[in-house]
Structure 1
Amino acid sequence: MIEVERAGRSFTHRRKAGVLRRERHVVHAVRDLTFSVAPGEFVGYLGPNGAGKSTTIKMLTGILTPTTGRVRVAGLDPSRRRTALARRIGVVFGQRTTLWWDLPLRDSFELVRHLYNVDQGDFRRRLAELEELLDLGSFLHIPVRQLSLGQRMRGDLAAALLHAPSVLVLDEPTIGLDVVSKAALRAFLRELNAERGTTVLLTTHDLGDVERLCSRVMVIDHGRLSFDGTLGDLRATAPEESSIEDVVARLYTGGG
């Protein structure tokens, strides 16, 4: 469902090197990145700030074009087929919403229906299902700006799923949520993956998300993949008494 082959992404900027001179400086955000995700996998994509996670997501969703290598999602080149890809994937960013700030949540969903040209019957059926699974009913009439963070997060997730995508990309979906909201969101994602077979790529700093949701873990650091395997494989890279936080931290610093 996701194929990344020797992908790289670099950025060029100029920095001051004297009173009148500037030097050209190249930053390699991602280097020689190769991995694939099979249909129905739930994969955790971990790394410290600046490791290349966001750059990878932007390449997978077509926001950025790889400088080198090849990327395919659902068989499509994301940067060349962004409109077609949008109908196959859903994206949720924990730190920013895709909903309309001043509209009631229900009206935001109606706009999403028009954007994706979802059949009215399919829309009503999916919204009813998502309303029940995510417990949306009590705040569908409330403007998005008045929702709590947990409510908004559930709204964003529902909006990303209304067009029934085969791939779901989640960027820090539980950031800032309380314990109850986190548990509800994790339960929903488990069911979505198990019952519908939705392929999920999750970036997070919350290792509780990884332990409860992911069948596979990838760790990226300095733009390169430093680990790819199961959570059990990851634990096996460190002494038995180490916590999962310790194991991942060692990989971040190149100790794994």
Structure 2
Amino acid sequence: MKDAIVVKELRKEFKSYSSRSGLKGAFRDLFTRNYKVVPAVNDISFNVKQGEMVGYIGENGAGKSTTIKMLTGILTPTSGAVMVNGMNPHRERERFVQTIGVVFGQRSQLWWDIAVQESFRLLKKVYKVSDADYNEHMDHVIKTLDIEPLLDKPVRKLSLGQRMRCELAAALIHNPRLLFLDEPTIGLDVLVKLKIREFLKEINQKYNTTILLTTHDLSDIEALCERVIMLDEGNIIYDGALKSLKEKWGEGKEIQFQFLEKVDLLALESLTSELGVKWELDDKEQIFTAYTDDHDEIISALIGKVISVHKIKDIKIMEVSTEEIIRNIYEKGKV
């Protein structure tokens, strides 16, 4: 299986300017500026096979969007090499864009004041898609994403969920081999997210479309991706199977308690201090969650101590979530 994306020692630096204080400093800034070079992406390397669905994750400012912009040819790397679909995204721009689709959750590629289908027709001409290919492919896309009732509406009249489904359809007009998705489900409700996830699985299986997905919604990653690449301050700190990440870092349990009476978080922490338990409180739902090692003796002792003092309304024992695992990794450092 050939590589859709090949990245070697990729680096992107930006200049960060600082102003001097006072009137004298402002005058000096007119002639000379103080600046420092800040690496947003720091000599990273990875490959993505054709047909893979990969989650590209990290905190805000980790370098995710900067990487995507270099892979799509929007930004030029400071150093390193990028090959996407066998081409250099910056030097073979016109031929390259015919092979990729891009969805930015906070930017639109649709024209705001015209009907959705008119945007589709304009993009069809931009990508030089024949009528036969357009009809055959887009009939399926429109039906699957359930956007047929939206085609006659101006984009500005659509809800966020409706617009994002149309944005995804627009990115697929030329049936690209590679799809970049940057926060595609941001702000969407559960039903729209599920529809988009099912659709992405379908095009991956039907057309062997490669998908690189960046998102803060880890449920998207769990639903779609077997592999994750994790970024921290411009460096890759993990590249591998999501399953392996869970096996290595997910050795614990979440125990959720709901009480019949008012309970103080500090009292719970004091009650279970000798067990090495970490507590969190969801104020809105009044759910107390204890994070503990996956040992039967500790779990039994924890539950025993709590129910001996407080009346329980409900209790649930769960595996540690992917979100908690990722948070632990960022708190403790490299994988």
Asked if TM exceeds 0.5, the reply is yes
Deviation at 1:236, TM superposition (A): 2.2
Deviation at 1:129, TM superposition (A): 1.1
Equivalent residue for 2:172, pick from 151, 161, 167: 161
Quote the Cα distance in structure 1 between the aligned partners of 2:58 and 2:16.
24
2:19 aligns to what? Answer: 16
Gaps of 5+ in 2: 253-319
Q: CA deviation digits over 1:13-64, x for unaligned, max 9?
A: 3212451253221010001100000000000000000000010000000011
Quote the Cα distance in structure 1 between the aligned partners of 2:111 and 2:211.
25
Q: Are residue 25 (structure 1) and residue 36 (structure 2) matched?
A: yes
**AA partner of residue 247 (structure 1):** I
Deviation at 1:150, TM superposition (A): 1.1
Quote the Cα distance in structure 1 between the aligned partners of 2:82 and 2:14.
18
Q: Which runs of 4+ in 1 moved over 3 A?
A: none
Q: CA deviation digits over 1:181-239, x for unaligned, max 9?
A: 01101000011111211000000000000000001101001000000111111112314
Matches for 1:81-160 after TM superposition, within 5 Å: 81-160=92-171
Q: Secondary structure at the match of 1:192?
A: helix
Root mean square deviation of aligned Cα: 1.2
User: What's the TM-score, normalizing by structure 2?
Assistant: 0.74
Quote the Cα distance in structure 2 between the aligned partners of 1:135 and 1:13.
45
**AA partner of residue 73 (structure 2):** G
Quote the Cα distance in structure 2 between the aligned partners of 1:153 and 1:139.
12
Gaps of 5+ in 1: none
Quote the Cα distance in structure 2 between the aligned partners of 1:180 and 1:34.
36
1:37 aligns to what? Answer: 48
Q: Secondary structure at the match of 2:248?
A: coil
1:247 aligns to what? Answer: 325
Deviation at 1:252, TM superposition (A): 2.7
Quote the Cα distance in structure 1 between the aligned partners of 2:183 and 2:122.
24
2:187 aligns to what? Answer: 176
**AA partner of residue 74 (structure 2):** I
1:75 aligns to what? Answer: 86
Identity of counterpart residues, as a percentage? 49
Deviation at 1:126, TM superposition (A): 1.6
Q: Secondary structure at the match of 1:59?
A: helix
Q: Secondary structure at the match of 1:232?
A: helix
Q: Is the 8 A contact 1:61 1:82 kept in 2?
A: no
Quote the Cα distance in structure 2 between the aligned partners of 1:145 and 1:4.
38
**AA partner of residue 13 (structure 1):** S
User: What's the TM-score, normalizing by structure 1?
Assistant: 0.97
1:7 aligns to what? Answer: 10
Quote the Cα distance in structure 2 between the aligned partners of 1:210 and 1:47.
12
Indicate the larger mover: 20-29 or 202-211. Answer: 20-29
1:218 aligns to what? Answer: 229
Q: Secondary structure at the match of 1:237?
A: helix
Deviation at 1:255, TM superposition (A): 5.1
Quote the Cα distance in structure 2 between the aligned partners of 1:2 and 1:103.
35
Quote the Cα distance in structure 2 between the aligned partners of 1:175 and 1:219.
19
Q: Secondary structure at the match of 1:91?
A: strand
Q: Is the 8 A contact 1:237 1:247 kept in 2?
A: no
Larger radius of gyration: 2
Quote the Cα distance in structure 2 between the aligned partners of 1:159 and 1:62.
19
Quote the Cα distance in structure 2 between the aligned partners of 1:76 and 1:83.
11
Quote the Cα distance in structure 1 between the aligned partners of 2:57 and 2:163.
24
Equivalent residue for 1:238, pick from 236, 249, 257: 249
2:271 aligns to what? Answer: none
**AA partner of residue 168 (structure 1):** L
Q: Secondary structure at the match of 2:206?
A: helix
